[in-house]
């Protein structure tokens, strides 16, 4: 039986109507009880499809042993395959496993479109996709909705081959709901002839303000990129948004210190105010002009910069600590492999995940597709180092990075962060007011779950 929130009053009325032939007080009492009972059943059945109604305690799990005799077709669904890694991995897997035919299906040109298309298929219980490529920030939402197979046993079996920080992006309520495929962490690109290698954020900002051409560019536009840039500083300063219990801790001295620091950086010329309009591509293009000393961006920028006049003039460093008193900490990006709870071939899906996370294939993730492996050994492979000379710096950033706040309502949390950070940086709101508003909006978002 299909129930929706809007159908509850109608169904209660229908239930009442079936026994309206009774007219005694005793009968009317039964009518009321029947209506109340039906309402309770509908509410407990999770009629709205909300995350809180699904639960994860009794979720179906992927069986590591199911890969042994897997065969048939396997469909991997995800967003635009710009690097070719999705189709390339599917083709290599099929070649090595002739009993299984894997293919990649693009379900969105952008990350947002891919998420929308994935949600539609999962809500509709479509069997089209066996594996979904999951942005690391989707884990808690998809798991809480009951859309993914629990991969805890599979992850435990493969744990030794995976960088621990990448595993945290697949975790929700003490279970693993995906396997890391490739990861990402921010890096600092710097003009080695003009500025110093950044050891702390305070040093970077000080050097950036010293002379024209030293400036720092980053993603300051009001969007997810600003959330990430802010969190990189907040984590490195010892702050947090949510604690291990999920309590809101963003209203803190560390948050105020970081916001003041970022705002002062704009005022004192460490960063040009144009960064308030920059996303990743705009940041890269600004740095390519040769007018800046530092750039914060992702690993893929290395190859692009080497195709410009700046080739040979820059170097790469991992994200620094805030002021030397705490550990450096980045924010993990990347994509994970989730098995749809509606998959008709979960054994083949397990087999594919086993293949994609092997140390041997993880080398190809870097060599053939210029992505960051989730296997630590790949970063010291000579062929990988020839392709990614900055692999040591990238590994340091990945190992020291943390996930974004883990919550089924992460999109609302991120909006509360970047909206209020932007308000401070643009000078429209003071730090104290923005921090309090950020905390309240995050609490409101969490209360909606």
Q: Which domains does the chain carry?
A: 71-184+333-400 (3.40.190.10), 187-331+409-447 (3.40.190.10)
The arrangement of strands across the sheet holding 179-184 comes to 100-108, 72-79, 131-135, 333-339, 179-184
pLDDT of residue 54: 57
383: tokens are: 């062929």
Q: How deeply is 6 buried, as exposed, middle or buried, from its count of CB atoms within 10 A (0-12, 13-18, 19+)?
A: exposed
The predicted structure's pLDDT at residue 325: 86
Provide the pLDDT for residue 58. 83
Residues with Cβ < 8 Å from 83, sequence gap 6 or more? 369, 370, 371
What letter does residue 275 receive in the DSSP assignment? Answer: G
Q: Which residue is it, tokens 């159908």?
A: 7
Q: How far apart are CA 248 and CA 241, in angstroms?
A: 6
The two beta strands, 72-79 and 100-108, are: parallel
Three-state DSSP at 228 gives helix
Residue 312: how many other CB atoms lie within 10 Å: 9
Task: State residue 449's pLDDT score.
Answer: 81
| pLDDT for residue 234 | 97
Predicted pLDDT of residue 303: 87
Length of the chain: 449
DSSP state at residue 320: P
Per-residue pLDDT at 57: 78
Contact 166, 175 (CB under 8 A): no
**Sequential pLDDT tens for the chain (449 residues):** 333 333 333 333 333 333 333 333 334 334 333 344 433 333 333 333 334 445 677 889 999 999 999 999 999 999 999 899 999 999 999 999 999 999 999 999 889 899 999 999 999 999 999 999 999 999 999 999 999 999 999 999 999 999 999 999 999 999 999 999 999 999 999 999 999 999 999 999 999 999 999 999 999 999 999 999 999 999 999 999 999 889 999 999 999 999 999 999 999 999 999 999 999 999 999 999 999 999 999 998 998 999 999 999 999 999 999 999 888 999 999 999 999 999 999 999 999 999 999 999 999 999 999 899 999 999 999 999 999 999 999 999 999 899 999 899 999 999 999 999 999 999 999 999 999 999 999 999 999 98
Contacts of 3 (CB under 8 A, 6+ apart): 11, 42, 45, 47
Using CA atoms, how far residue 1 sits from 39, 94, 146, 377, in Å, is 14, 40, 19, 52
Q: Look at the block and give the residue holding tokens 């053939």.
A: 368
pLDDT of residue 56: 76
């Amino acid at each position: 039986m299909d129930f929706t929130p809007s159908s509850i009053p109608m169904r209660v009325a229908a239930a009442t109507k079936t026994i309206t032939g009774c007219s005694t007080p005793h009968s009317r009492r039964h009518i009321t009880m029947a209506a109340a009972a039906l309402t309770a059943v509908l509410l407990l059945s999770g009629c709205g499809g909300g995350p809180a109604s699904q639960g994860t305690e009794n979720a179906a799990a992927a069986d590591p042993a199911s890969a042994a005799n897997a065969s048939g077709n396997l469909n991997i669904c995800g967003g635009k395959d710009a690097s070719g890694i999705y189709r390339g991995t599917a083709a290599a897997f099929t070649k090595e496993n002739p009993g299984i035919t894997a293919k990649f299906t693009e379900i969105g040109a952008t990350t947002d479109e891919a998420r929308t298309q994935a949600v539609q298929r999962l809500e509709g219980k479509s069997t089209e996709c066996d594996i979904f490529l999951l942005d690391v920030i989707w884990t808690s939402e998809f798991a809480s909705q009951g859309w993914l197979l629990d991969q805890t046993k599979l992850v435990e079996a493969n744990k030794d081959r995976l960088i621990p920080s990448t595993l945290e992006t697949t975790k929700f309520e003490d279970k693993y709901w995906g396997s890391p495929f490739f990861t990402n962490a921010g890096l600092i690109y710097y003009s080695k002839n003009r500025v110093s290698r950044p050891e702390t954020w305070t040093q970077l900002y000080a050097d950036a303000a010293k002379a024209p051409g030293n400036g720092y560019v980053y993603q300051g536009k009001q969007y997810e990129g600003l959330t990430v840039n802010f969190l990189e500083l907040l984590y490195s300063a010892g702050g947090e948004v949510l604690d291990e219990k999920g309590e809101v801790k963003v209203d803190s001295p560390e948050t105020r210190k970081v916001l003041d620091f970022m705002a002062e950086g704009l005022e004192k010329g460490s960063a040009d105010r144009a960064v308030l309009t920059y996303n990743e591509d705009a940041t890269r293009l600004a740095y390519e002009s040769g007018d800046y000393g530092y750039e914060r961006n992702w690993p893929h920028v290395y190859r692009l910069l080497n195709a410009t006049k700046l080739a040979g003039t820059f170097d790469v460093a991992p994200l620094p600590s805030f002021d030397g008193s705490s550990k450096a900490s980045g924010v993990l990006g990347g994509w994970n492999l989730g098995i749809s709870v509606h998959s008709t071939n979960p054994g083949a899906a397990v087999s594919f995940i086993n293949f994609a996370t092997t140390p041997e294939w993880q080398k190809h993730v870097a060599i053939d597709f210029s992505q960051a492996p989730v296997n630590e050994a790949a970063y010291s492979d000579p062929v990988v180092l020839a392709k990614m000379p900055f692999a040591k710096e990238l590994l340091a950033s990945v190992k020291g990075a943390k996930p974004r706040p883990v919550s089924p309502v992460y999109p609302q949390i991120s909006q509360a962060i970047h909206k209020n950070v932007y308000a401070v940086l643009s000078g429209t709101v003071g730090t104290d007011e923005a921090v309090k508003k950020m905390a309240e909006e995050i609490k409101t978002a969490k209360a909606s779950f």
